[in-house]
Amino acid sequence: MLFAILLFISSTFFGLAYSAPLQSRATTFTGDGTFFQPGLGACGKTNTADQLIVAVGHGEFDAFPGAGPNPNANPICGKKIKATSGGKSVTVTVVDRCAGCPGAADLDFSEAAFAKLASPATGRIHGVKWEFV
């Protein structure tokens, strides 16, 4: 409570508070990475395996600020994510919801995007770090 009061006072008098939307903050997530065969995704667009796209774990997709009953209108759709694993990185666009992802921070890449991080023969990458960009 004391911290909240001090934050309010500092933001009011010194302009120190920053209230950017969650998706633009530099928060890093960690989850597993897999890949899937895209088609018509939850965001309402049809994509292919050669595009740099991703389906976000259903926990993150459903809890994203502004998400409602229509997944096509979820504000997470179209957001860019930079994912990193093993010293490699790829920037992908959110186009789908991963219903089979057990963790909220898990990502299901197109095969082309997954291949930028590891060989598709790997199947699953543990500890993928990612953030909205």
2 located within any domain: no
96 located within any domain: yes
15 located within any domain: no
Whether the predicted model's global pTM rises above the 0.85 cut:
no
85-125: pLDDT as tens digits:
999 999 999 999 999 999 999 999 999 999 999 999 999 99
46 located within any domain: yes
66 located within any domain: yes
Structure tokens at 73: 């209108």
37 located within any domain: yes
Question: What CATH code is carried by the domain that includes residue 80?
Answer: 2.40.40.10
Question: In which element (H, E) is residue 59 found?
Answer: helix 58-63
16 located within any domain: no
What residues make up the domain containing 46? Answer: 21-132
46-72: pLDDT as tens digits:
999 999 999 999 999 999 999 999 999
Q: Which of 10-19, 22-31, 66-75, 80-89 has the lowest mean pLDDT?
A: 10-19
Which SS3 state, helix, strand or coil, does residue 83 take?
strand
48 located within any domain: yes
Any idea of the CA torsion for 25, 78, 65, 63, to the nearest 10 degrees? Answer: -110
Domain count along the chain: 1
